Chain A
Amino acid sequence: RLYAVRTVAGRELDVALIIEQRVRDENIPIYSIIVPSQIRGYVIVETPAAFHAANAIQGIRYAKGVVPGVLRYDDVERLLKPEAVVETLKPG
C-alpha cells in the first residue's frame, strides 16, 4: 500500500533519507520511499499499513504526519515516469 506523508516543503529528501535509515535500523516494513518532483511537501511510503509510516516518521521535525487513505499504484507510477504530467493525488 502507498501512503502520503506530509513534510515541510524543501525537506522531502531529508525526510526520505531519515525514514530509510530508520527502516534499516529498526526493521520497519517499508519497502520503498518516493520523493515526487511534481508535488512539493510530500513523500510517498510503500508499506503494508499506515501505522508503520507513522512509526517511521515519529520525531522527525520536518515530517508533519501521514495522510489518511491509500494512494493508487497507477497514480503513483505515473509520478515515476520522467515524462509525467502534473496531477493531483487523491487519497482513497
Chain B
Amino acid sequence: FKACRKCKSLVPREATRCPVCGSTDISEDWEGTLVVINPEMSLIAKRLEINRPGRYAIKVR
C-alpha cells in the first residue's frame, strides 16, 4: 500500500490517484494503520471524526 497525504487513505501500490478524495499527492512513506469498519459504532472513529469506512494511515510523511 501507499497512503494519500490529503485524506490519509491507504491506496493500492500501483495507484497514482487516491480513489477516495482524488488527490495525486500520494506517499510511500507512512506508518501505522486504522481500519474503520463501522464508523457509526466505533468510538475510535468518532473520537478521530472519521465517518466513512476505510483503511487509513496513522502517520504519512
Pairing of A with B: yes
Smallest beta-carbon distance B2→chain A, Å: 13
Contact string, B32-61, partner A, CB cutoff 8 A, digits 1/0? Answer: 111111110111110110000001001100
The count of chain A contact residues (Cβ–Cβ below 8 Å) is 25
CA distance A38 to B58 in the complex (A): 11
CA distance A37 to B34 in the complex (A): 10
Q: Are B45's CB and A80's CB within 8 A?
A: no
Q: Are A31's CB and B59's CB within 8 A?
A: no
Q: Are B43's CB and A46's CB within 8 A?
A: yes
The count of chain B contact residues (Cβ–Cβ below 8 Å) is 19
User: Of B34, B36, B39, B43, which is within 8 A of A73 by CB?
Assistant: B43
Is B28 at the interface (CB under 8 A from chain A)? no
Is B31 at the interface (CB under 8 A from chain A)? yes
Residues on A lying within 8 angstroms of B by beta carbon are 2, 13, 16-17, 19-20, 23-24, 29-38, 46, 73, 76-77, 79-80, 82
